[in-house]
Amino acid sequence: MTRYMVTAALPYANGPIHIGHLAGCYLPADIFVRYMKLKGEEVLFICGSDEHGVPITIKAEEMKKSPQEVVDYYHDIMEKSFKGFGIEFDNFSKTSIPLHHENAQKFFKTLNEKGYISKKTEKQYYCEKCRRFLPDRYVEGTCPHCKAEGARGDQCDACGKVIDNVSLIEPKCKLCDSTPVIRDTEHFYLDLDKFQNKLKTYLDSRTWWKENVREFSLGWLKDGLKPRAITRDIDWGVKVPVEGYDGKVLYVWFDAPIGYISSTMEFFNRSGKPDEWKKWWQEEDSKVIHFLGKDNIVFHAVIWPSMLMGVGGYNLPYDIPANEYLNLEGKKLSTSRNWAVWLDDYLTRHKPDILRYALASTLPESKDTDFSWTELQQKNNGELADIYGNFINRTVQFITKYNDGRVGENPELRNEDNEFLDTISRKVQSIGKLIEEYSIRKATYEFMDMAREANKYFTVQEPWVLGKKDKSRLDTVLYVCMKAVVALACAGEPFIPFASKKLQAFLGIKNFRWDSISSVAVPSSLEGRELEILFTKIEDKTIEDEKARLGRKAEEKSAGKNENTLSLSEISIEDFKKVELVVARVLKAERVQGADKLLKLSLDLGTEKREIVAGVALHYKPEDLENRKIVIVKNLKPAKLRGIMSQGMLLAASSSDKSRVKVLFPDESCEPGDTIG
């Protein structure tokens, strides 16, 4: 039996996930995997966060955090968003784990031993003050092409041109603003040229790929592949496993795809079968399928297969069903301009199924498509609520209200009933076939068409008339309608899993196989069962609010509001309540050696003793504070200052230039441990 090793592009851990990512690969991959699992296929769905590279270190410097803290933070946000949208990975790993570092180093070593890696000396900016090489994005200067200021080491945003190595005019180190020097540095290169012919044969043989993906990949081979640098001079990443190359790490695009394999290993290590991953990546009857967005095609269709061929023993990607781009309200999605719908934010207001369904109907499968809130409203109101929800609801209501909850067990099916049931079965089959071809949009239409047909049947049969004149015919019609409800509950699972699971629970459906949906049993009675409304209408006002919100967020971004620094006006009362302010008594105050601004304070908090470090030494002598009561923030993360762990922060008022600093002393009748707020 064929095994399906399915991956979705590793999301980069320097921000949350938006709808573009969801439409690009996570949603189609999840729909595919859910269907394949329901079909009874052996499938593994693997992902993880991509956590190395310069954008992470830059983000870390902006946020004044370590790179590890940054990637941990975004990993959690991403994982929650995926869970919230029902993207059910078998494993969601991280590339910063030791297992992955070892694995990536092993890839490097093998390629090196087999002669696929070469070395080259190149020129790079080096900051003597920071004592480090400066990757492209750490240098800014004047563009040599258009003379615009603020061009990065690798590209000018003003004219869009690529900037050749070390050619900026008046370059400056972004970290310290001093002028860097140019130094020689040695880097490792993957000799892609050595794979040119093999790659051509490989790509030519992939006749079943989407045309845009194969054409694009073959295009890369036209001018002949050249060696590509696979190392960089930064600290954050997988260390180059060669002696004498300290301070160099593997380029993130080199280690990232290896992350799929590491994530698979992690999954099987956890389940106590450490060798099982080999089956999925190396045995002939496994098919590796990479879901991804257009920008990732070259890495997966050209570079990754080269790496796999070079190392040897691995299956080459069987298919790469890459999607094009999704636009938002007619404009290109943009993280830097904050023109996006962020998944974590969406989930605070709306149901995941609605966005899943709306996006599935407009996936950019063969060309760029557009998402709009108005269309989401139409999809929800006009289809999920009015067609799908309506049919289920009217059937269930009719049975409960007018037929004592009985469904009728001995139907006498007429031609028209059989024809209708055949149509439903054919549609279920067709949905499956379309998903296997990665035509998710068409599969989604076909699913809604099932509900449309079912409504038609209900209307034509007029059960409300039958109830008065032909009880046995009514039983049959209701039974047939319930067969359709069951089919919708099962076939909807890949698209709208949350509503489908609810409906399945209502119907008592536990396990079913896709190919036998038409024989899943219909409950004989609905007595005592209750079904909540699955989809309600979205008001116009809600949609207007969402559109206004999009514009507002983009404006805030262009006005320079950084999402990493909470502006006070945006803190909710709930946020403020998280800050614990308490009264403390200063037991002892002393100067900190070598720091003329700091005082170390030993405090009594009523129930415990603590030490904090406060920057008030220029304004207060130790004896001014001893025995006084002060207010501190109690639940700050402890921080080390001059080697002393500070477990809180003292409250003080200061003039804007800090020339005047006054500690806030609470009323003398306050007691240590009293809370404020």
The residues that touch Zn ion, with contacts defined as CB under 5 A, are 127, 129-130, 143, 145-146, 148, 156, 158-159, 173, 175-176
Distance CA 345, CA 188 (A): 42
Residue 175 or 633 having the CB closest to Zn ion: 175
Residue 1 or 162 having the CB closest to Zn ion: 162
Q: Shortest Cβ distance from residue 177 to Zn ion (Å)?
A: 7
Residue 143 or 387 having the CB closest to Zn ion: 143
Q: Which two tokens stand for residue 465?
A: 């008339």
Distance CA 284, CA 404 (A): 56
Distance CA 162, CA 154 (A): 6
Query: What DSSP state is assigned to residue 656?
Result: T
Residue 67 or 497 having the CB closest to Zn ion: 67
Q: Coil, strand, or helix at residue 293?
A: strand
Q: Shortest Cβ distance from residue 127 to Zn ion (Å)?
A: 3
Fill in the amino acid letter for 550: L
Q: Shortest Cβ distance from residue 235 to Zn ion (Å)?
A: 14
Q: Shortest Cβ distance from residue 646 to Zn ion (Å)?
A: 28
Distance CA 509, CA 501 (A): 9
**Contacts for 108-115: CB closer than 8 Å, 24+ residues apart:** 108/188, 108/230, 108/240, 108/241, 108/250, 108/254, 109/241, 110/310, 110/311, 110/312, 111/190, 111/307, 111/310, 111/311, 112/188, 112/242, 114/310, 114/311, 114/312, 115/191
Q: Shortest Cβ distance from residue 252 to Zn ion (Å)?
A: 22
As beta bridge partners, residue 46 has 7, 91
- In angstroms and rounded to an integer, the radius of gyration of the C-alpha atoms of the chain is 31
Fill in the amino acid letter for 608: E
289 close to 5: Cβ distance less than 8 angstroms = yes
Q: Shortest Cβ distance from residue 61 to Zn ion (Å)?
A: 12
Distance CA 483, CA 496 (A): 19
CA angle 339, 553, 57 (to 5 degrees): 70
DSSP 457-483: HHHHH-HHHHHHH-HHHHHHHHHHHHH
Q: Shortest Cβ distance from residue 337 to Zn ion (Å)?
A: 19
Buried b or exposed e, range 363-381, using 16+ CB within 10 angstroms: bbbeeebebbbebbbbbbb
Residue 129 or 577 having the CB closest to Zn ion: 129
CA distances from 580 to 70, 583, 639, 667 (A): 25, 10, 17, 18
Residue 146 or 548 having the CB closest to Zn ion: 146
Residue 167 or 393 having the CB closest to Zn ion: 167
Q: Shortest Cβ distance from residue 175 to Zn ion (Å)?
A: 4
Residue 158 or 242 having the CB closest to Zn ion: 158
Residue 133 or 291 having the CB closest to Zn ion: 133
- Kindly give, in sequence order, each residue whose CB lies less than 8 Å from that of residue 160, ignoring residues fewer than 6 positions away: none
Q: Shortest Cβ distance from residue 595 to Zn ion (Å)?
A: 24
Q: Shortest Cβ distance from residue 48 to Zn ion (Å)?
A: 33
Residue 173 or 517 having the CB closest to Zn ion: 173
Residue 138 or 479 having the CB closest to Zn ion: 138
Q: Shortest Cβ distance from residue 643 to Zn ion (Å)?
A: 26
Q: Shortest Cβ distance from residue 58 to Zn ion (Å)?
A: 14
Residue 56 or 127 having the CB closest to Zn ion: 127
As beta bridge partners, residue 370 has 327
- Kindly give, in sequence order, each residue whose CB lies less than 8 Å from that of residue 285, ignoring residues fewer than 6 positions away: 1, 2, 3
Q: Which two tokens stand for residue 439?
A: 């035509």
